[in-house]
A and B are shown apart, each in its own frame.
Chain A
Amino acid sequence: MYSESFQKSLTVVEAAREKNIALEPERMTEKQRKQLLAEYHPDYKKDEFAQLKIGVNKGDTVPLELAQLLQAHSRISPKEVDLSVPYYDTDVLVIGGGGAGAAAAIEANRAGAKVMIVTKLRLGDSNTIMAEGGIQAADKPKDSPVFHFLDAFGGGHFAAKRELLSKLVCDGPEAIKWLSDLGVEFDKESDGTMITTHGGGTSRKRMHSAKDYTGAEIMRTLRDEVINQSIPVVEFTSAIELILDHKGNAAGAVLMNMETQKLTVARAKTVIIATGGAGRMHYQGFPTSNHYGATADGLVLGYRVGARLLYAENLQYHPTGAAFPEQIFGALVTEKVRSLGAKLVNAKGEVFTHPLETRDVAAAAIIRECSTRKNGVNTGNGQGVWLDTPMIEIIGGEGTIEKRIPATMRMFQKQGIDIRKEPILVYPTLHYQNGGLDIDENGMTTNVKNLFVAGEAAGGIHGKNRLMGNSLLDIIVFGRNAGINAAAVAKETSLGKLTLEHIEKFENEIKSAKIETKMVSPKLLPNYTKQNI
């Protein structure tokens, strides 16, 4: 599949393979990591960020594209909507049909609340379904939630909210059990022992997986369970504005049919934002591994009613996005490829970093190799470095790739590349929103009552960089948590009069800050039609 232009570099990589397998590259020191990030990580490029002029985070910086959305006009004027006749009336309204939303809905339903899910695409269309490599949990005898805490806290630059991270790691094993009891097929030895591997920055092998379809396996099981529990799901319908009651508590949402644009009102005693990430914002022009609907909607909805953002300036660029061929540009190549032994190799056949540094460090190392060091491979569509996948077959034995990472193998096979025999070209791709709406241990936003957040839309759990496998864990732990607590709060809530006054208030802030914009938000979907390319 690789044309003539790649052959020279390819030959060098092949010749160095045996030596590179034997090599045990050193991990960077804290000082080296810091310097590398400051010089090469996209989060540190100051001119790609803007200061917010309005709202609770006024003065904070966020990516340019996010600042525009957060300070854009509402899609509706309050006059268009009759709040007195809600089309849906429920206890718990879950916005978003990914892993966090489904887990929340299942638990809220089990707790006896009336719950419904609204999602702008289909139930399950989410980043969850695309998560490949695994889910962390400290359930092995050699491991402990304490080690898990330390790995994640350090990997996130010691910025995580400690009480949230503590909940993540302590509820981890229970989350695996919960999934297992629902029928999720984790990879196990014949005696039931979980097959676990390392991820970037983990000190113990605690990455559980279902081949490299881990997220897909979790999502399809949760979706099946949501349907089995007869939880109402309204698909192809987006929440475009939250509704508050006269006390300022969350009380529902204005919904829009994605095809007919018809507006409806959903009244709810509690609302859970589980809208996921923002890869389709293409910050700094990066490609993304995210699904079609990852457009930061939840941050916009929350921000407009006064919910605070935490670490919204920290994005995760997954080190190994596919860099070639063009048809799969930006698609995720799971970290599990490196967990299984493949190393990152430059055009000269040199291993230039430990393969399991944390994601931000590994991404920065690749960008350095492809920029100032000029050791990248020209892909015809940009630069990339080799991820030497045939190493896996040599280390783990023939058949390891097919058994452990069939999805990755299939993706490249469709492009005419056999990853068992040929290495692949990779470059960082926009992958994860490390920050989000600020929540407390109950999953409720810190300054809007009855508004809960779960999954990628929440901030603070991972600090400023998330480790592999902690996001699938997060959506289960904090999805369930939000569902249970939202159901409990709903029981004690009697709704006041519904209002959309916040739209006008926000509009006035836009005017006072002299922000000139025609943009409306949330964005809902990217536009890739020709005139927009």
Chain B
Amino acid sequence: MEKMVNVFLFGQEYQVPENLTIMTAMEYAGYQLVRGCGCRNGFCGACATVYRIKGDSQLKTCLACQTKVEDNMYIAALPSFPIKKQVYDIEKINPSQAVMRQLYPEIYSCISCNACTKACTQGLDVRKYIEYAQKGNFEKCAEESFSCVMCGACSSRCPVGISHPQVAMLARRINGKYLAPSCEHLENRVKEIKDGAFTQLIEALMQKPIEEIKELYNTREFEK
């Protein structure tokens, strides 16, 4: 017999097997999920959830698909949290500190309460990457925020209304497009293909009878 635990889904009590995640516990209880469920593997951020263990003063945040149920867990899903996303033209943007100030000025109101970091479902140092964003250090902001799944748990806890995932998104795109070193062999290859350097080779291969292609495949050499 599986061991059962008591959980409270939106205030309603259910008994569920202890080895379930919050997400599968909801389904066990009979919920056919539409919102608050995406990749079910911790990558998409659809299932941000808040919970409190009975008697505990701490409100905790997690991804429902990645977190096991606990006894006396009070659970509420946070399937849609309104965060601020500014629209910009990546081709025309000026990759400087000014752009952060212009698009997300509220980051400069940060009171360093660290609620965002505590809330992060990925264990990121959110406050630190916001500090980097304030200074216009996009490279470090991108690096610190890289594993963000944009679930919005941080923003839900922020007293000054910062939309941390969007700040980080902007920093990463600026870093990827403007600050990371450009790739010479990629540029060269794109040009070679445009100039038709491989056209004849590919066509010749495509025209070959299947047996000949098989032979080429089975005897090809592997780069070490």
A residues apposed to B, CB below 8 Å: 29-30, 121-122, 124-125, 129-130, 138-142, 144-147, 149-151, 153-154, 158, 162-163, 166, 169-170, 173-174, 176-177, 180-186, 188, 190-194, 198, 203-205, 211, 213, 215-217, 220-221, 224-225, 227-228, 230, 236, 258-259, 289, 291-292, 326-328, 331-332, 406-407, 410-411, 414, 525, 527-531, 533
Contact = CB atoms under 8 A, between A and B. Distances in A.
Nearest to B178: A183
Nearest to B216: A150
Contacts of B123: 410
Contacts of A174: 190, 193
Given A145-B202, A176-B186, A332 B223 contact: no
B181 A150 contact: no
B175 interface: yes
Given A177-B186, A182-B173, A198 B181 contact: no
Interface residues of B, number: 71
Contact of B193 (A140, A170, A217): A170
B195 interface: no
Nearest to A179: B176
B176 A184 contact: yes
B147 A410 contact: yes
Interface stretch (B5-13, B33-41, B106-114): B33-41
A406 B173 contact: no
B3 to A, nearest CB: 13
A259 B34 contact: yes
Contacts of A289: 41
B85 interface: yes
A509 B38 CA distance: 35
A529 B32 contact: yes
B147 A406 contact: yes
A366 B175 CA distance: 41
A176 B24 CA distance: 37
Contacts of B181: 188, 190-192
Nearest to A228: B87
A528 B180 contact: no
A529 B27 contact: yes
A373 B208 CA distance: 40
Nearest to B198: A145
Contact of B214 (A144, A158, A528): A158
B147 A530 contact: no
A525 B29 contact: no
Interface string B177-219: 1001111111111100100001001100110001001101110
In this complex, which of B28, B39, B46 has the most chain A Cβ atoms within 10 angstroms of its Cβ?
B39
B203 to A, nearest CB: 8
28 contacts: A29-B218, A122-B38, A125-B44, A139-B186, A145-B202, A149-B205, A150-B217, A166-B206, A170-B198, A177-B187, A180-B183, A182-B177, A183-B176, A185-B172, A186-B180, A191-B181, A221-B173, A224-B169, A236-B35, A259-B34, A291-B44, A326-B19, A327-B19, A332-B41, A410-B122, A411-B41, A528-B27, A529-B32
B27 A173 contact: no
B182 A192 contact: yes
Contacts of A170: 193, 198, 202
A525 B85 CA distance: 29
Contact of B34 (A203, A236, A533): A236
